[in-house]
Structure 1
Amino acid sequence: MDFHVLDRADGREDGADWTQNYSEIPANPGISLIFESTTKAGLGPRLHLHPYPETFIIRRGGATFTVGKDDIDAHAGQILVVPAETPHKFVTHEGGYEAVHIHSSPRFETTWLE
């Protein structure tokens, strides 16, 4: 059986303070991933969009997302799906944020709007 295991680039074996991007993943699953974990508030990307949907699986903490013209306070246990071509950004809450961001493309394609 063929399978692939991807380890953290920094060699750590935990999920703390982890930001790492994975594109062109072995075995070509058709997605790219961002793993993000921080204990800090006020962090996040500036406004941008993708030509494909992006799914956020929030595992710990939360963030205020701007999706289009709406602000959404998202928290652990929620899944947020941002449609293709929709401007979005987020800012982490007090206590931080941990999530997996799934890009519905094997490569990141981002248009920065600010």
Structure 2
Amino acid sequence: MTANSIPWTQGEAPWQGEFRGADFGSGVSIIFTRIDRPGGGVKLHRHPYSETFIVRKGTVVFSDGTSSFEASAGRIVVIPPGMPHMFSTKSDEVEMIDIHANHRFVTEWL
């Protein structure tokens, strides 16, 4: 079998950081988001590809700059290509896996 196996974290260490697929021959890039305070997040931006968020812990408020909704642990949020979006944490601890459907990150900040 020919495959890449990349060590990400050891033991009980929290998942956080980035995986750029282009570095390993993968068609996706991933951000492991961990925020330990309410109000953390990212400003309005968009990507030319879809982005899928898996909320592992806590509650996050997603917005397109006009309307918003909450997503809590166990929810999956899919943002279509080109759609402006941002998020802000509502709970004390948030963990998400953000999957970018591209081999590298391409972000246009709005």
Class of the TM-score when normalised by the shorter of the 2 chains: 0.7 to 0.9
1:57 to 40, 51, 54: 54
**TM-score, normalization by structure 1:** 0.85
Aligned to 2:90, which of 88, 93, 103? 93
Task: Say how many residue pairs are matched.
Answer: 109
Aligned-pair distance for 1:65? 0.7
Contact 2:65 2:86 in 1 (8 A): no
CA RMSD of aligned residues (A): 1.7
**Residues 44 and 64, structure 2, Cα contact 8 Å, conserved in 1:** no
Q: 1:3 to 1:14 in 2, by over 3 A?
A: farther
What's the secondary structure of 1:94's corresponding residue? coil
Q: Are residue 5 (structure 1) and residue 27 (structure 2) matched?
A: no
Cα contact 1:30–1:106 (8 A) shared by 2: yes
State how far apart, in whole Å, the 2-side matches of 1:52 and 1:19 are.
22
Partner Cα distance (1:94, 1:46) in 2? 18
* Identical-residue share of aligned pairs (%): 36
Which residue of structure 1 aligns with residue 75 of structure 2? 78
User: Are the equivalent residues in 1 in contact too, given 2:56–2:96 (CA < 8 A)?
Assistant: yes
| Per-residue deviation, 1:22 | 1.1
Alpha-carbon distance in structure 2 between the residues aligned to 1:69 and 1:25:
36
Q: For residue 90 of structure 2, give the secondary structure of its aligned residue in structure 1.
A: strand
Bigger drift between 65-74 and 46-55 goes to 65-74
Q: CA deviation at 1:41?
A: 1.4
Counterpart CA distance in 2 for 1:104 and 1:68 is: 22
Separation of aligned partners in 1, 2:70 and 2:78: 14
TM-score (norm 2): 0.88
Per-residue deviation, 1:15? 4.9
Contact 1:36 1:98 in 2 (8 A): yes
